[in-house]
Amino acid sequence: MNETVFSAPVSPVGEPVRIDISQLEKSLRRPRSAFSFVLSVLVGLMTITALVPLFSVIFMLLVRGGKKLSMSALTELPPSAFELGGGFGNAIAGTVIMVGIAALISVPVGIIAAVFLAEVAPESRLAKVVRMCAKLMTDFPSILAGVFAYGAVVLITGGFSAAAGGIALSILMLPTVMLTAEEAIRMVPSKIREAALGMGATQVQTVWMVLLPTAFPGILTGIMLAVARAAGETAPLLFTALFSNYWLASDGKIDLMQPTASLAVLIYNFSAMPFENQVELAWAAALVLVLMVLTVNLTGQALSRNRTE
Amino acid sequence: MSLAPQCSLNSVSNGDKDGVVIDCDVRELYYGKFKAVRDTRIAIERGKITAFIGPSGCGKSTVLRCLNRMNDLVRGFRFEGQVCFQGTDIYHNSIDPVAVRRYIGMVFQQPNPFAMSIFRNVAFGLKLNGYKGDKAERVENALRRAALWDEVKDKLHDSGLSLSGGQQQRLCIARAIATQPQVLLMDEPCSALDPIATRRIEDLMLELKQNFTIVIVTHNLQQAQRVADKTGFLYVDTTQGGRTGYLVEYGETRQIFEDPVEKYTQDYISGRFS
Ligand SMILES: Nc1ncnc2c1ncn2[C@@H]1O[C@H](COP(=O)(O)OP(=O)(O)OP(=O)(O)O)[C@@H](O)[C@H]1O
Ligand SMILES: [Mg+2]
């Protein structure tokens, strides 16, 4: 009998089938089981290999960044060349503000565009063009977003500013938000859509009361991805928000038209400096950036879980 | 209603004098190039249950979905004929299909509750219509009439999806009747249910008949006999090429089942068709 084929033995008519118990047992001697075992081991090894760089980065961040992490690092202004101490409070604020501006622009616009693409006119020529452009833009080198915002905002308003930085980041976030939201809205089963329309809901009511709430977890995932990416971008900010050693304020009020520090640019600047204090601060800032993205993600997950229960 | 297009169908030119709520005349109905239904004239009477029976693919669902313009959502759908709802042609250009669907509710074959709480499912239609009164009272009332109240009264804020299939279907019925539509269209509402749940829904239909007019599509001939006052038999015509459905016979349920006029009807109800 061929060992690799697991078919029940056929007994002659009238005789009871005799089952060979050993055939049912797991055995590495059988080529099929052995092959399966080797593959499982291989998959396990490959998973570990893929995780090694990830965990070593996190480990390094925790060890080197954790050392310098303190209340003063989180709240003070960056030190000058030979100064000791200092922190990156203004960079945290700058990142939060710019990512906030970017989200305020890209989330509503992206979701409205997604509703158009998924519900209003999915087959229209406009939708096809927009979809293609968005797909292209997700692979956009991020520095181009900076160059664009430099031309469109910085040159026109006459200076580097947090607003320009936020706009540059929103250009990077928009396609991700839009395409994932479109996908999430499309995934809502058509029977749900019919239920709403059958109740006499208008298209606007259907989208607002049924489709968006149902698609909410998917949309949120897209937003989280986009926020995470935007928070870590350096290149577009070099052309737009630049950097600043001071708080983003004039006359005690937040002033979005001033240049601002950001965690990403601070890390970029400080990690290349020949001063140990600055390098250590860069590590701590990197750790803070990772923790911030993580917090945003966890909050998002909790939100979407509450919503679907 | 003064601007509304008057129906030209002779039997109901003055509204629903003879108790006809919907007078439906499908002359030709196309999905793209495919002619799905022809020559189907059915008058739905107030306070009665009307059943559509017939073999699969003969256009029962299609005709039913015509009655509240759900077919408008299908690409390539084209309709020639009239559907007169209380004397108004709902396919006239000046009619808003959304408004039509608020008067003519629908329950689908597969239960389709929204991914929200039981309460919010039932209150959905009230919210659509901007209902200002006591929502809780209306929701309870609808759930009671749908014979679901006792099973869900302690978990109104659980997800509608957490219910069993039969409960979900009753939830969908409660959702549909909460806004008090005139007519309830039901497309094989029991096909996903076991015999006990089916019987409950049938009892429910007989109960709801007091307040609503019901049109139901069913594959179950016994069910049609048990609940329907009037029955229409649709069949597929393959003689002119294509598969076009049409109404063979329409009348009192007793007459259709015991004394059908047409030979096709006779063959179908005695099970002589495959
Ligand atoms: N959305 C659609 N697009 C194209 N053709 C359709 C569509 N819906 C139905 N049809 C066609 O119209 C004809 C009638 O379909 P319908 O769904 O009304 O049949 P039915 O009598 O309800 O059948 P069943 O008892 O199986 O539900 C069928 O030939 C079907 O293929
Ligand atoms: Mg059908």
Report the helix count and the strand count for chain B, using DSSP H and E.
Answer: 10, 10
Q: Which residue puts its alpha carbon closest to atom 31 of ligand 1?
A: B57
Atom of ligand 1 nearest to the CA of B243: 29
User: Is residue B274 in a domain?
Assistant: no
pLDDT for A71: 85
Q: Please indicate whether, in this complex, the C-beta atoms of A192 and B116 are within 8 angstroms of each other.
A: no
Residue A21 confidence class, pLDDT cut points 50, 70, 90: low
Examine the pLDDT at A1 and tell me if it is beyond 50.
no
Which residues of chain A are within 8 Å of residue B114 when distances are taken between CB atoms? Answer: 192, 195-196, 210, 214
Question: A217: distance to nearest CA of chain B, Å?
Answer: 12
User: Is residue A134 in a domain?
Assistant: yes
pLDDT for A27: 67
Least confident of A67-81, A156-170, B27-41: A67-81
Euclidean distance between CA atoms B177 and B218, whole angstroms? 20
Which residues of chain B are within 8 Å of residue A192 when distances are taken between CB atoms? Answer: 112, 114-115
Domain of residue A187 covers: 90-263
What is the pLDDT of chain B when averaged over all its residues? 87
pLDDT for A165: 94
* pLDDT greater at residue B192 or residue B235: B235
User: Is residue B141 in a domain?
Assistant: yes
The stretch A86-105 carries a mean pLDDT of: 93
pLDDT for A125: 94
Q: Is B85 near chain A, with CB under 8 Å?
A: no
User: Is residue A61 in a domain?
Assistant: no
User: Is residue B4 in a domain?
Assistant: no
Euclidean distance between CA atoms B142 and B190, whole angstroms? 19
Q: Please indicate whether, in this complex, the C-beta atoms of A205 and B128 are within 8 angstroms of each other.
A: yes
Question: B262: distance to nearest CA of chain A, Å?
Answer: 34
Atom of ligand 1 nearest to the CA of B77: 3
Those residues with Cβ within 8 angstroms of residue B12's Cβ, 6 or more apart along the chain or in another chain: B18, B20, B23, B43, B84, B87
The stretch B41-60 carries a mean pLDDT of: 92
pLDDT for A207: 94
User: Is residue A52 in a domain?
Assistant: no
User: Is residue A200 in a domain?
Assistant: yes
Which residues of chain B are within 8 Å of residue A195 when distances are taken between CB atoms? Answer: 108, 112-114, 172, 175
Examine the pLDDT at B13 and tell me if it is beyond 50.
no
Q: Give me ligand 2 centre to Cα A299, in Å.
A: 44
How far, rounded to the nearest angstrom, does the alpha carbon of residue B115 sit from its chain's CA centroid?
Answer: 24
The stretch B239-251 carries a mean pLDDT of: 87
The stretch B249-258 carries a mean pLDDT of: 92
The stretch A281-286 carries a mean pLDDT of: 92
| Per-residue pLDDT tens digits for B106-130 | 999 889 999 899 999 999 999 888 8
User: Is residue B246 in a domain?
Assistant: yes
**CA torsion angle B97 B103 B109 B112 (round to 10):** 90
Residue A289 confidence class, pLDDT cut points 50, 70, 90: very high
**Total number of domains constituting chain B:** 1
Q: Give me ligand 2 centre to Cα B242, in Å.
A: 18
What is the pLDDT of chain A when averaged over all its residues? 86
Domain of residue B112 covers: 10-269
* pLDDT greater at residue B96 or residue B232: B232
| Per-residue pLDDT tens digits for A201-248 | 999 999 999 999 999 999 998 999 899 989 989 999 998 988 888 888
Q: Give me ligand 2 centre to Cα B61, in Å.
A: 4
Domain with A247 in it: what CATH number? 1.10.3720.10
Strand pairing class (B34-45; B20-31) = antiparallel
Q: Give me ligand 1 centre to Cα B33, in Å.
A: 14
Among the partner residues B105, B113, B159, nearest to A309 by beta-carbon distance: B159
The stretch A170-177 carries a mean pLDDT of: 94
Q: What share of chain B is helix, strand, coil (3-state, %, to 5)?
A: 35, 25, 40
Q: Please indicate whether, in this complex, the C-beta atoms of A214 and B114 are within 8 angstroms of each other.
A: yes
Alpha helices in A61-141 (DSSP H): 66, 71-75, 89-115, 125-138
* DSSP letters for A6-72: --PPPPPTTSPPPP-HHHHS--TTSHHHHHHHHHHHHHHHHHHHHHHHHHHHHHHIIIIIHTT-SHH
Euclidean distance between CA atoms B222 and B238, whole angstroms? 27
| Helical (H) or strand (E) element with B269 | helix B263-269
pLDDT for B14: 45
| Per-residue pLDDT tens digits for A49-90 | 999 998 998 898 999 888 888 888 888 888 877 778 888 889
The stretch B239-246 carries a mean pLDDT of: 83
Mutate to test the pocket of ligand 1, among B26, B31, B268, B273 (most ligand atoms within 8 A of CB): B31
Residue B1 confidence class, pLDDT cut points 50, 70, 90: very low
User: Is residue A244 in a domain?
Assistant: yes
Nearest to B59 by CA among B236, B183, B189, B201: B236
Residue B269 confidence class, pLDDT cut points 50, 70, 90: confident
Please check whether residue B142 is in contact with residue B175, taking contact to mean a CB–CB distance below 8 angstroms.
yes
User: Is residue B5 in a domain?
Assistant: no
User: Is residue A203 in a domain?
Assistant: yes
pLDDT for A244: 85
pLDDT for B11: 52
**Total number of domains constituting chain A:** 1
Examine the pLDDT at B97 and tell me if it is beyond 80.
yes
User: Is residue A223 in a domain?
Assistant: yes
Q: DSSP class of residue B104?
A: E
Instruction: State whether the beta carbon of B74 lies less than 6 angstroms from ligand 1.
Output: yes
Residue of chain A whose alpha carbon sits nearest to that of B157: A309
The count of other CB atoms within 10 Å of the CB of residue A29 is 7
Domain with B74 in it: what CATH number? 3.40.50.300
Examine the pLDDT at A7 and tell me if it is beyond 70.
no
Residue A39 confidence class, pLDDT cut points 50, 70, 90: very high
Residue B4 confidence class, pLDDT cut points 50, 70, 90: low
pLDDT for A257: 87
Residue of chain B whose alpha carbon sits nearest to that of A123: B75
Instruction: State whether the beta carbon of B243 lies less than 6 angstroms from ligand 1.
Output: yes
